[in-house]
Amino acid sequence: MTCTEFLKILDDVIDESIAVETRTEIEAHLRKCGHCEVVLNTTRKTIEIFRCHEIYEVPTEVSERLHASIMDKCKKAK
Amino acid sequence: MSTIQPIAVPDEQHPDVALVQRVRAGDIAAYDTLVRKYERQIFRIAQHITQNREDAEDVMQDAFLKAYEKLDQFQGNSKFYTWLVRIAVNESLMRLRKRRTGKLVSMDEDVTTDEGSVPRDFADWAPNPEQNYTQAELADILRKTIQGLPQGFRVVFVLRDVEGLSTEETAETLGLSVPAVKSRLLRARLQLRERLTRYFGRRAPAIAQAAAAPGGDGAEA
């Protein structure tokens, strides 16, 4: 497996939708290619960081105001 | 040896289905539950697309109101959440269009470039690199990083990786093909990784110092 081939299936590796036989090839490639190993690990970490950290924090009072406004509009709508 | 059992497909109903039915029957409290369940996600998606707090607040309200008014049109062959997200995405794009005085805004914007689709920086990251920053600093880094992505990549990444929609649901929501979603997702992930390496790579402090120094050659990196 070449780096280009690995890169093509990187998403499937991350999403764990890889056939068993390909998995062995991937593992062999990663053992000898430090760059691809770093790309895989840091891409996984990238996703994890974005998933675990709220970057658009909404203060509770804003959230409550918006919620009340939505429900108010819905009640008037019907 | 046991005989092969037919694959049991239990007719398990998503909890939202019952709530939607109650709303249709006139129970507004059931809608209150649905709004509470998804308001944060819808706000985040709107904020990611519009990049504007005020617009995101408006989009969130409009999306929930529209969903309520059009609930009779909801077919039930997709999840309520996916349907709601689609409304929010459309509302967000409309809002952007208004801001850009009618200029067409679509999901295909800026996606023709191949920039960032091949990794260039192979510096490994420190273990748990986010711990080197305060919550506020980290949020700032992540905002800057994701805001730099082309719109069509950013939305795919947000729906698929942050909000947890499947590839198929993301495609359906954005009106894109599954291969298009996959290609954008890969490029979004790689570009974000590349950008975060500037902050989280093991030699990041040296670069940060060079960038901070007047005339430092790290500034344009």
Residue B100 neighbours by CB distance under 10 Å? 10
Q: For testing the chain B interface, which of A55, A64, A76 should be mutated: the one with the most B CBs within 10 Å?
A: A55
Q: Confidence band (pLDDT; 50, 70, 90) for B96?
A: confident
Q: Confidence band (pLDDT; 50, 70, 90) for B32?
A: very high
Give chain B positions within 8 Å (CB) of A63. 39-40
How open is the CA angle B169-B174-B179, to the nearest 5 degrees? 70
Identify which of B195, B194, B169 has the alpha carbon closest to the alpha carbon of residue B181: B169
Give chain B positions within 8 Å (CB) of A13. none
* Average pLDDT score over residue span A17-33: 93
Q: Confidence band (pLDDT; 50, 70, 90) for B177?
A: very high
User: In which residue are the tokens 């706000």 written?
Assistant: B43
3-state SS of B165-203 is CCHHHHHHHHCCCHHHHHHHHHHHHHHHHHHHHHHHECC
Residue B113 neighbours by CB distance under 10 Å? 10
Query: Is the minimum CB–CB distance between B123 and chain A shorter than 8 Å?
Result: yes
Q: What is the pTM of this model?
A: 0.84
Q: pLDDT of B48-85, one tens digit each?
A: 999 999 999 999 999 999 999 999 999 877 899 999 99
Q: pLDDT of B146-172, one tens digit each?
A: 999 998 999 999 999 999 999 999 999
Q: For testing the chain A interface, which of B19, B65, B120, B167 should be mutated: the one with the most A CBs within 10 Å?
A: B65
Q: Which structural domains are found in chain B, ordered by start?
A: 15-99 (1.10.1740.10), 129-209 (1.10.10.10)
A55·B143 Cβ contact <8 A: yes
ipTM exceeds 0.90: yes
A58·B43 Cβ contact <8 A: yes
pLDDT at residue B9 is higher than 90: no
